[in-house]
Amino acid sequence: MLENTPIGTTKGPGETPHEYVFVAADPEQLVKYGEFVYYETTVEGTPREILGRVSARVPLRLYPDTFLADPTVPPQEVADLLGYEHEPHELFEITVTILGYYDPVMGFVNPRVPPPSGTPIMIAADGMLSDVLCKLGRGELGGIHIGSLLSRSRDAVPIVLDARGFTSTHLAIIASTGSGKSYLAGVVLEELMQANNRAAVLVIDPHAEYDTLRDMQGHEAFGADGYAPEVKIVRPDDIHVRVSSLELADLRYLLPNLSERMHFLLGQAYGRVKREHGDKWNRGTLKVEIRKGLRGETVTDPEADGDEDPTVGALIWRVSQVLEQSSIFDDNRNLPLTSLLRPGQCTVLQLNEIPDREQQIIVATLLRRINQARMDTVRGRTSPDDEDHIAYPAFVLIEEAHNYAPANADLVTTGILKQILSEGRKFGVSVGLISQRPGKLDSDVLSQCMTQCIMRIVNPIDQARVAESVESVGRDLLAELTALSKGQVIVAGASVNTPVMVQVRQRLTRHGADDLNAPEEWSKYFSEDALFQRERDNARPPDSAPRSSDPFERLFN
Amino acid sequence: MYIGKIVNASSHVDYVCQIYGPGEAEQVPAPLDYCFGSFVGIEQDDGEQLVGLIANTTLLNPEFGNLGPRLSPQEDLAVFSPDYLAEQATLVAITVIGAIQENAVQGVPAVCAGIDCQVRRLTDAEIETFHQPDGRFRMSYMALLQAMDANPLIPPLLLQVTHDLADRFPDQARRLAILRCNLAWRASVLPAG
């Protein structure tokens, strides 16, 4: 990389006040989209280097179309034929979005004056970018090293997010399927569990693809000074929701299509059970209260059905179906927050094999409890011995976030997510939302994630949602969304000084969401070993009649 | 070395010089002495010298078009009508681009040349002086030449001049290469498209 050598010359101001245009021959193609360039000037008597990002590149000198008539004849040869022997012929007009000079306190300060025409433009050196693009260096407290600057060679300019940014004002990772969002999330989690961060992390994992994070335990890259991260996988069988942590809205969500009368009965019963038992109610007490009906008759046996109102019976049947047939709901057991959230521990809550509505209830109750626990802890309402005392800030990473805060529906999770997104920073609760369909994600939810990691997005609806919800990414970078490759990400917001395009680093642990190679699996069926195995399994005693290997034939003959 | 004299002008900067033929000068100029793109000086009576570029060449031949029979054969004309042969001439168009007196001045000069002012090739030293009017290399006459865009010979003239100057001023070669590259693109590639 040429350092301090001009690569172009300023032509003049750009279309907008914070843009300028320079012209460069750029024979080595150093000036890529998203590349950082700078010019030198004096601002209020102090020499400054004004950094900018390349946002457009237009060729000024193109061969005439007629020179391109025969693909076997390069246009250079035609030009040479005409006496044009001057190389290089290419010249580009390059638009730069001005970021400004970097001030450690203020961040980037825009001088608000474009450079004069003729000002030499230089490519920013790797060292300069390492210093100004990120707030932290690798290995520093709060440093999340996710990869390196895309426009430079791998690892030349490490990009380190500031965990303080997204653990207070939240994180969003959005990308199409197969763009590497789970991989990036894995990298972020690895970094959060490094010795310099030792975070308390909870991962909501609907596809059970994060269990490979267990590789961190005992991995030499993660241990230091006697510290070793702990990874706790909570399987679906171990997930329990104490029914007393359900709110009326949760119950109504679990019991769809109730009649008006049933809704009323349920509301009455819920109000009574809360009044009489506080947070100690269970399925039995709820059913008793439902059975009391609208008149509040005295009932002690939850199973007594006597000559009750048919609506009451139907409601009790429905409540029993949902709360008693599921292994999730329990009268006593609950996920213990103190063991779920602990510094230096990553807890993966696997929600696969659990129906969608129950997944949403689990997430809603858990987020509510975490938020309440942190509020109570911060305000001194709980002591370390209490069940719901969380002494440290918590970070909750939610996969498939559009299932918990969809755009055109109000789920049980939407409210608590919005509450955490707006108030969580005061109490040390932050969320990271991962979604492959930003178009289906609530725009308020997305816009409140102040650190955004945006990967390849092709769907125009998703692109539009990102454009309207993510303010910190400029139009020029959003235009790059379709051109990004797997593992390339645009990072913007509170955790970096300016939006950057990043090549995500290699994970230290295995990736748990690799695609299945179906053709390879199919061809295994015809491997010699598989054929031999089948022949052996189908073999009959020598004196028996030959047996067809076709199961359908065997079935019908 | 004198190559001819001014015989006509079509503007303040466009002159016609008749190249000396046999008997008109001690040494008859060779075609290379008045070739396209050469820097020439037009001497004034007061010692000032206009600087110009040979921008075109035409040939004057009164016999052209006279296809009828003649009284005298061609080879006898030298004996019977020697002045008739003298009416054939080589004319070069000179575009004035500056002047040299005490100092060199580039651009349109204030004064004009008169009829019969002698024209000579500039020496290498004079060309260097003309291009360094204030001690620094200058080509401020470029704009004047480029403004004559109706003349199809201007682009090759500029290419010839920049090529010549790049050889004379090696320290200016990179700057001149930018000009030459741009001129070549516009003169060679774009018209062909």
Stretch A335-346: mean pLDDT: 89
- Residue B18 maps to a domain: yes
- Residue B186 maps to a domain: no
- A442-462 in b/e form (b: 16+ CB < 10 A) is beebbbbbbbbbbbbbeeeeb
3-state secondary structure of B19: strand
Give the closest-approach CA distance of B138 to chain A in angstroms.
18
Long-range contacts of A280-286 (CB under 8 A, 24+ apart): A280/A244, A281/A243, A281/A244, A282/A243, A282/A244, A282/A331, A282/A332, A283/A243, A283/A319, A283/A320, A283/A323, A283/A324, A283/A329, A283/A331, A284/A331, A286/A243, A286/A319, A286/A323
The ipTM, to two decimals, is 0.71
- Residue B153 maps to a domain: no
| Token pair listed for B124 | 């290498």
Q: Residues A428, A393: contact at Cβ < 8 Å?
A: yes
Question: Bridge-partner residues for A347, per DSSP?
Answer: A202, A232
- Round to whole Å and give the CA distance between A160 and A156: 13
Q: Do B189 and A86 touch (CB under 8 A)?
A: no
Q: In chain A, which residues have their Cβ closer than 8 Å to the Cβ of B185?
A: 61, 84, 86, 89
Stretch A229-249: mean pLDDT: 90
Extract the residue ranges of chain B whose pLDDT is less than 70.
82-86
Q: Do B180 and A86 touch (CB under 8 A)?
A: yes
- Residue B11 maps to a domain: yes
In the prediction, which pLDDT does B86 show?
67
Q: Do A64 and B177 touch (CB under 8 A)?
A: no
- A171-190 in b/e form (b: 16+ CB < 10 A) is bbbbbbeebbbbbbbbbbbb
Stretch A93-119: mean pLDDT: 91
Q: Highest mean pLDDT: which of A290-294, A527-531, B67-71? A: A527-531
- Residue B167 maps to a domain: no
Nearest CA in chain B to A65: B193
- Indicate the pairing of strand A46-59 with strand B2-9: unpaired
DSSP-derived letter for residue B27 is S
| Token pair listed for A152 | 């430079």
Has residue A489 got a pLDDT over 80? yes
Length, in residues, of chain B? 193
Q: Do B185 and A86 touch (CB under 8 A)?
A: yes
- The model's confidence at residue A83, banded by pLDDT at 50, 70 and 90, is confident
Q: Do A84 and B177 touch (CB under 8 A)?
A: no
Q: Residues A429, A396: contact at Cβ < 8 Å?
A: yes
Q: Residues A486, A179: contact at Cβ < 8 Å?
A: yes
A78–B contact, CB cutoff 8 A: yes
Has residue A229 got a pLDDT over 70? yes
Nearest Cα residue to B1 out of B95, B119, B117: B119
Has residue A305 got a pLDDT over 60? no
- Mutating which of A82, A87, A90, A91 best tests the B interface, going by the most B Cβ atoms within 10 A? A82
Has residue A119 got a pLDDT over 90? yes
Nearest Cα residue to A355 out of A206, A166, A243: A206
A188-211 pLDDT, tens digit per residue, is 999 999 999 999 999 999 998 888
| C-alpha separations of B151 from B13, B95, B147, B155, B156 in Å | 14, 12, 9, 8, 10
Q: Do B193 and A61 touch (CB under 8 A)?
A: no
In the prediction, which pLDDT does A51 show?
94
In order, the DSSP letters of A301-352 are: -TT--TT--HHHHHHHHHHHHHHHHSSSEESS----HHHHS-TTEEEEEE-T
Question: Bridge-partner residues for B166, per DSSP?
Answer: none
Q: Do B185 and A82 touch (CB under 8 A)?
A: no
Please tell me which of the candidates A61, A64, A86 has its beta carbon nearest to residue B192: A64
Question: Bridge-partner residues for A327, per DSSP?
Answer: none
Please tell me which of the candidates A65, A78, A86 has its beta carbon nearest to residue B184: A86
Q: Do A89 and B181 touch (CB under 8 A)?
A: yes
- Residue B32 maps to a domain: yes
Look up the domain containing B87 and give its range.
2-136
| Domains of chain A: residue spans and CATH | 6-124 (no CATH), 166-236+335-471 (3.40.50.300), 242-330 (no CATH)
Q: Do A67 and B185 touch (CB under 8 A)?
A: no
Q: Do A78 and B192 touch (CB under 8 A)?
A: yes
Q: Residues A7, A121: contact at Cβ < 8 Å?
A: yes
Query: A499 preceded by cis ω (within 30°)?
Result: no
Give the closest-approach CA distance of B193 to chain A in angstroms.
5
Q: Do B189 and A79 touch (CB under 8 A)?
A: yes
- The model's confidence at residue A515, banded by pLDDT at 50, 70 and 90, is low
Nearest Cα residue to A133 out of A151, A112, A114, A113: A151
Give the closest-approach CA distance of B176 to chain A in angstroms.
12
Residue that wins the pLDDT comparison between A531 and B84 = A531
Q: Residues A199, A193: contact at Cβ < 8 Å?
A: yes
Please tell me which of the candidates A66, A78, A84 has its beta carbon nearest to residue B184: A84
A350-406 pLDDT, tens digit per residue, is 998 888 888 999 999 999 999 999 999 999 888 888 878 888 999 999 999 999 999
Has residue A306 got a pLDDT over 60? no
First-to-final CA distance of chain B: 43
Stretch A494-520: mean pLDDT: 84
In the prediction, which pLDDT does A287 show?
87
Q: Residues A488, A505: contact at Cβ < 8 Å?
A: no
Find the DSSP H helices in A52-100: 75-81
Q: Residues B34, B57: contact at Cβ < 8 Å?
A: yes
A449-468 pLDDT, tens digit per residue, is 989 999 988 888 888 888 87
Q: In chain A, which residues have their Cβ closer than 8 Å to the Cβ of B189?
A: 63-64, 67, 79, 82, 84, 89
What is the Cα gyration radius of chain B?
A: 19
Give the closest-approach CA distance of B190 to chain A in angstroms.
7
A134-163 pLDDT, tens digit per residue, is 888 888 889 999 999 998 888 899 999 999
Q: In chain A, which residues have their Cβ closer than 8 Å to the Cβ of B177?
A: 86
Q: Do B181 and A86 touch (CB under 8 A)?
A: yes
Give the closest-approach CA distance of B159 to chain A in angstroms.
11
Stretch A43-70: mean pLDDT: 90
A25–B contact, CB cutoff 8 A: no
For A103, phi then psi, to 5°, come to -115, 125
| Token pair listed for A434 | 């991962």
- The model's confidence at residue A303, banded by pLDDT at 50, 70 and 90, is low
A9–B contact, CB cutoff 8 A: no
- The model's confidence at residue A551, banded by pLDDT at 50, 70 and 90, is low
- Round to whole Å and give the CA distance between B9 and B92: 11
Percent of chain A with pLDDT over 70: 92
Chain centre to alpha carbon of residue B142: 15
Q: In chain A, which residues have their Cβ closer than 8 Å to the Cβ of B192?
A: 64, 66-67, 78, 82
CA atoms within 13 A on the CB side of A218: 3
Residue that wins the pLDDT comparison between A273 and A468 = A273
Residues 58-77 of A with CB under 8 A from B: 61, 63-67
- Mutating which of B158, B174, B176, B189 best tests the A interface, going by the most A Cβ atoms within 10 A? B189
**How many domains is chain B partitioned into structurally?**
1
| Amino acid letter for position A478 | L
Give the closest-approach CA distance of A87 to chain B in angstroms.
8
- Round to whole Å and give the CA distance between B101 and A112: 49
The label of the residue with tokens 């539009």 reads A464
Please tell me which of the candidates A82, A85, A89 has its beta carbon nearest to residue B192: A82
Has residue A441 got a pLDDT over 90? no
- Residue B187 maps to a domain: no
In the prediction, which pLDDT does A557 show?
53
Nearest Cα residue to A196 out of A171, A219, A162: A162
- Residue B49 maps to a domain: yes
Q: Do B185 and A61 touch (CB under 8 A)?
A: yes
